Amino acid sequence: MIAFEVWTAGLWFVALAIVFVFGLEIPKLSENATLAFAGYERMSAILDPYNLNIPARVQEVIIFLMVAGTLALNSRRNIQLIIQQANIARERANLSRHFPPNIVDQMAERDQPLGAIRSQDVAVMFVDIVVFTRMARHQTPEEVITLLRQFHNRLEGLVFEHHGTLDKFLGDGLMATFGTPSPGPHDAANTLRCGREMLAEIETWNTARKEAGAEPIKVSIGLHYGAVVLGDIGSERRLEYAVLGDTVNVASRLEVITRELGVEMVTSDDLVNAVNSDADADADSTGLLSNFDSAEPQHLRGRDDPINAWTF
């Protein structure tokens, strides 16, 4: 619009200059019009369509530039608002890849920044495909990526369905937290329920894979509940929202020892106690903890004291 108004004003002035400088022949008023305005030379000059009237023409150009400039500024503001809304929509879309939709809505309404450093109790889950390296050795790269996408897509939906946060994908596994960014009263129960439904989903998927002639997969899950530190880590160029602490390390180690114990899921005694202390989940806590067996205290790498665990 600015280019249009500049070019139009320029052509306008050029046309006036050509007529004024070169004195081009300009038609005069008809005889009848001249007689009608006889004695009113000023009115005749103003109404004469063939009169250059340079001051009036300059005034018209200035008004044209002002109006066109106002429209250009208004258009620029509208474009900026559209870009701003698009950026907000993109940010919400990026958040929705990590948080369930209800949490994204809560975070969008809060003034407190996401990266405020704090400590709180959180349930942590680690999931991994057992012997994935051996499986990938006999598959093409395209088949490996397809398998991982299907695997992640199934488990991601279950994490969000149970009000969890997808912390990150770990190659052939994932890490999820329950109670971030804001803790809730049912985080432990949601974690355990999510783990059980993940195993059921994998079993259903394996049935379809067997019918298709594909090798079934086996997953291992580690769960723990305890205090973590939440906040942004990284540099000024790139920040990442992180969940840190011993609770995260314990959950990861519990997932690893599922192979030694020959089970699919290992949960800490702390998470089981948190489930039992959930008054609202008390009615179905027996169902959540069914088929779990108390294991001997487990010695985890990096910890001096053993941890009480339950196996599924």
| pLDDT confidence of residue 58 | 79
| pLDDT confidence of residue 11 | 86
Mean pLDDT, residues 20-41 taken together? 65
Q: Tens digits of per-residue pLDDT, 71-106? A: 888 888 899 899 888 887 777 776 666 665 656 666
State how far the alpha carbon of 257 is from the alpha carbons of 157, 158, 180, 244, in Å: 26, 23, 26, 21
241/239 Cα distance (integer angstroms)? 7
Least confident range from 130-144, 252-266, 277-291: namely 277-291
Q: Tens digits of per-residue pLDDT, 203-231? A: 999 999 999 988 899 999 999 999 999 87
Burial 270-298 (b: 16+ CB within 10 A, else e): bbbebbbebeebeeebeebbeebeebeeb
| pLDDT confidence of residue 134 | 86
Tokens coding 107: 């975070």
pLDDT at position 35 over 80:
no
Q: Tens digits of per-residue pLDDT, 137-195? A: 888 999 999 999 999 999 999 998 998 988 888 889 999 999 988 888 899 999 999 99
Mean pLDDT, residues 229-252 taken together? 82
Contacts of 69 (CB under 8 A, 6+ apart): 2, 5
Which of the pair, 1 or 274, is modelled with greater confidence? 274
**Which fold would CATH assign to domain 113-311?**
Alpha-Beta Plaits (3.30.70)
Q: How far is CA 143 from the centre of its chain?
A: 28
Q: What does the CA dihedral 193, 198, 201, 205 come to, rounded to 10 degrees?
A: -170
Under a CB-based contact definition with an 8 Å cutoff, are residues 178 and 112 in contact? no
The mean pLDDT value of the chain amounts to: 83
CA nearest to 152, candidates 137, 135, 163, 168? 168
Which of the pair, 55 or 123, is modelled with greater confidence? 123
| pLDDT confidence of residue 272 | 93
Say what the pTM is: 0.69
What is the DSSP-derived secondary structure letter of residue 112? S
Check the CA dihedral 247-248-249-254 and report its sign: positive
| pLDDT confidence of residue 283 | 44
Q: How far is CA 33 from the centre of its chain?
A: 72
15/1 Cα distance (integer angstroms)? 21
Task: Give 3-state DSSP helix, strand, coil % of the chain, rounded to 5.
Answer: 55, 20, 30
Under a CB-based contact definition with an 8 Å cutoff, are residues 127 and 220 in contact? yes
CA nearest to 136, candidates 151, 121, 125? 151
| pLDDT confidence of residue 120 | 93
Helix-then-strand count for the chain, H and E: 12, 8
| pLDDT confidence of residue 288 | 86
Under a CB-based contact definition with an 8 Å cutoff, are residues 103 and 163 in contact? yes
| pLDDT confidence of residue 125 | 97
Residue 95 CB coordination number (10 Å):
18
pLDDT at position 232 over 80:
no
Least confident range from 64-68, 107-111, 144-148, 273-277: namely 107-111
Which of the pair, 128 or 10, is modelled with greater confidence? 128
Under a CB-based contact definition with an 8 Å cutoff, are residues 302 and 253 in contact? yes
| pLDDT confidence of residue 209 | 92
Q: Structural domain boundaries of the chain?
A: 2-96, 113-311
136/144 Cα distance (integer angstroms)? 6
